[in-house]
Every structure is written in structure tokens, then in C-alpha cells.
Chain A
Amino acid sequence: MRVVSAVIAIAVGLLVLLGYFLPMAVPIQTILLEWAVIFVAVAAVVGVINLATVHADKVRRRAKDGIYSAMLVMGLIVAAGLGLVLKPQNSFMQAIFLNGIIIPVEASLLALLTVTLLYTAIRLLRRRADAMSITFIATASLIFFASATLPFGDMPILGTLIRPWVSQILALGGVRGILIGVSLGTLLTGLRVLFGIDRPYGGK
């Protein structure tokens, strides 16, 4: 079975890749990608079932903070039930679940994140007082300080010369370097998966 799954994965991967270079392989590529979209949709359902199973198990075991798991499972059942009956685009569904719960909760987490990041930046030097950390804090502070707008316009020299130079020359160069490294890593990781060396779909 493991061999079969590996053969299927490698064959499909190669056919999809060929579609990018050979026009005659495009129809096969399109069919395979359409199948992939259906599989992803099915995987989303399986993912939700997994989430519900984990939390239902916590409720059954009466685990610590099980009340939150119970709320999650109940919320899931209510949202899924109402969604099937009313359809997700229904104004009641949008008002209660999207605008009433999902967006406010995510906005709260975003607000919490802002405080967390400030706190983390302050603690960075206590955790790791090396040259990289000092450079990081110094650069971030410089950019923040130089971004401040004064009543008469941008801060002289710092805001007009140093900040653009740091952000558009040094930082942009660093960003490109990191992205090139990530792209190369992704390319080689993809090749390992394509040739069955890494098998995240199972196999010893």
C-alpha cells in the first residue's frame, strides 16, 4: 500500500510539473488540479471532524478547561446546523457568526498581539544580548523614531535620508536575500518530495 501511494504521488507530481513546460500535458494537469481542489475540500471536512473529535474527547475525559472544548463543539454544531439550513450568505448568519463572533474575536487577538510584540521586543535583549539582537532593536527603533511626523513634515535627515536608505537599501536587500534562500529551500524540498525521498504521505 505504501509503495502504491508513493507511486501515485510521484506520478501525479511529475504530470502536474510537466504541465508547466509541455503544452500537451496541460489537459492532464488541469484534470489533476481539479481533483486536488476536490480533495482539499474533503480534507477541510476531515480537518473539522478532527478538531471536533479532539475536543469531544476532552469533554468526555472531563479534562482541565473542558468547558471551552464543550463550547467549541456546541458552537460547531450550531453553526454547521444553521449554515446548512439558512446558507452561509444569510444575513442572520453573517450578523451573528461572522460580524458578531469571528471578526471581533480575531480583532481581539490582533490587539493582544500588538501588546505581546511590544513586550517581546523589550525583553529581547534580556533573552539574547548579542550583536544581531542589538542591531535588530536599534534598526527597529530608528525606523519607528524616523517615521514620526512632525508638525512641519518629516523629521530632517533621519526621516528624509537615513530611514529611506535603511528601509529601501539595507532592509530590502536583506529581504531579497532571505526570500531567495527560502525559494531555493522550497525548490530542493519539493524535489525531494517529488522523487519520494521525503514521503509526508506515509511510508517508512
Chain B
Amino acid sequence: MNAFIILILAVVLLGVVTLWKRRSSSAVREIPAFTRLIRSLGLSIEDGKRLHISLGHGRMTDGRGGSAFAGLALLRNVAERTSVSDMPSVASAGDSTLGLLTQDTLEAGYQAAGVEDAYVHTIGRVTGLTPFSYAAGAMYISQNENVSTTIVLGNLGSEAGLIADASERANVPLIGSSDDLVGQSILFTSAQEALIGEELFATGAYLNDDAVYSASLTVQDIFRWIIIVGLIVGAGLKFIGII
């Protein structure tokens, strides 16, 4: 019952806040990783190099798929912007279902840019089906395929360290985030710019003008404040012995 109430509340809030955001534009706070990401998008085309977007190995059939969907939203945007480049962006995934969605998302980005004939299915790759085999394949792309920036976004554990190390050896800056705590701490130490926690899910708001993405951030903030107040009130009530 609680889950149902939370779900309905989230749907209602998302709808209301989206309508409100469409009427009055709002700014998002600056996150260095996104500033660097947007700059890399432009620079990769000018430098004649490609971006490598690595989406981790989150399965679509469990809770880890959420971060993969956030990565796919980023990929869609990157594909649309860099599809006209001589060196189109390449994406890697460590799960077969995610690999299929990666290819579909890339194709949709090319269609949106009006260059669907330029789409080649090998730019969306499944590099391995276990965490380390996936990392081994992603490491190769960062080191050998004329990459200007590696963007790691999704469900990654300790293997993120190998991808980060390979990028560093090839002098390729890395922007990264994972929904896994181990992956997140490793990317914090090894990435040039790291996203912490829920910042991973804010890519849409920073790369798209659509109000629904900034509305998503606002709804997350509303829920976060509800949880904070609930925790403080709960701790207070426990302290005075009511619960």
C-alpha cells in the first residue's frame, strides 16, 4: 500500500511540476562533470575524435536497470549531436539486453539528426557478458579507437577502475558515475570528473531542454525533503519515547 501511495504521489507530482516548469523556466546548479561533458561533445567533433559511452552491465530485469536507462538517455542525446561527425560516438555495454537497447537508441539518435543512413550497427557493442570481460572490451575501445573522452554511466562495480586506468594510460579524460557504491567510490578517485549518487540521474536535465527532466529533479528534491523531515521527526519521537 505504501509503495502504491509513493508511486501515485510521484506520478502526480511529476505531472504537476512538469506543467509548472513549462510555464516558468528554471536553472539547474552547475555540476563540473556536466560542464565538462557538454564541452567534450563540441570538442570531439572539432578534434576529429569520438566519444566512448560505456553503459555498464545493469540488467533491464532488475533494479540496476534504472542507471542504465539514465545512461541511454545520455546516449540518445550524444548520438544525435555527434552523428554527423566523421568519427561517430561508440557505445559499449556489458549486458545483452542493454546492448540491444544501446543500438536502438543510437539508431534513434541518427534518425533524429536526419542521417540514419550513416548509422552502422557496430558502433553499439556488447563487449562482454561478465563484469570483467565487459571491462576488458571497454578498455580496448578507450585505448585504440581514437577516443577523446570516455563517459562511464550505469551499473559498474570495481571493474570501473580498469576502464578508468586504461583511459588514463591513453590520456583520455573520463567522466563517470555508477549506482553501485563500490563503482562510485572507485570512479570518484579515478575519474577526472565524477558524479555522486543521484547526480547520475540528472543527465537528462542538463542535456535536454524538455521541462519533464528538470521536473524529475524537482520531484526527487521534494521526496528527499519528505524523507529528511520523516527521519528527523522519527528520531525525535524515538528519543522522547513515543515510538
Determine the interface band of chain A, counting residues with CB < 8 A from chain B.
35 or more
Q: Which residue from chain A places its CB closest to the CB of B180 in the assembled complex? A: A182
Complex contact A200–B76 (CB within 8 A): yes
Number of A-B contacts (CB under 8 A): 184
Q: Which residue from chain A places its CB closest to the CB of B60 in the assembled complex? A: A40
Q: Provide the bound-state CA to CA distance between A185 and B202, in Å.
A: 8
Given contacts A50-B99, A182-B197, contact A188 B162 (CB under 8 A): no
Complex contact B69–A200 (CB within 8 A): yes
Tell me the smallest distance from the CB of A88 to a CB of chain B, in Å.
14
Count of B interface residues, CB-CB < 8 Å: 76
Residues of B within 8 A of A105 (CB): 132
A156 at the interface (CB under 8 A from B): no
Residues of B within 8 A of A182 (CB): 66-67, 179, 197-198, 200-201
Q: Chain A binding site: helix, strand, loop or mixed by DSSP?
A: helix
User: Interface readout for B194-238 with A: 1 if CB under 8 Å, 0 if not?
Assistant: 001110111010000010100010011001100100000000000
Which single member of B3, B97, B132, B179 contacts A20 (CB below 8 Å)?
Answer: B3
User: Interface readout for B84-99 with A: 1 if CB under 8 Å, 0 if not?
Assistant: 0000000000011101
Residues of A within 8 A of B67 (CB): 182, 185-186
Can you identify 10 A-B contacts, CB atoms within 8 angstroms? A40-B60, A50-B126, A109-B159, A120-B165, A182-B67, A185-B200, A186-B201, A200-B76, A201-B101, A204-B111
Could you tell me which A residues sit within 8 Å of B by CB distance? 17, 20-21, 36-37, 39-40, 43-48, 50-51, 53-54, 57, 64-65, 102, 105-106, 109-110, 112-113, 116-117, 119-121, 124, 127, 136, 175, 177-182, 184-193, 197-204
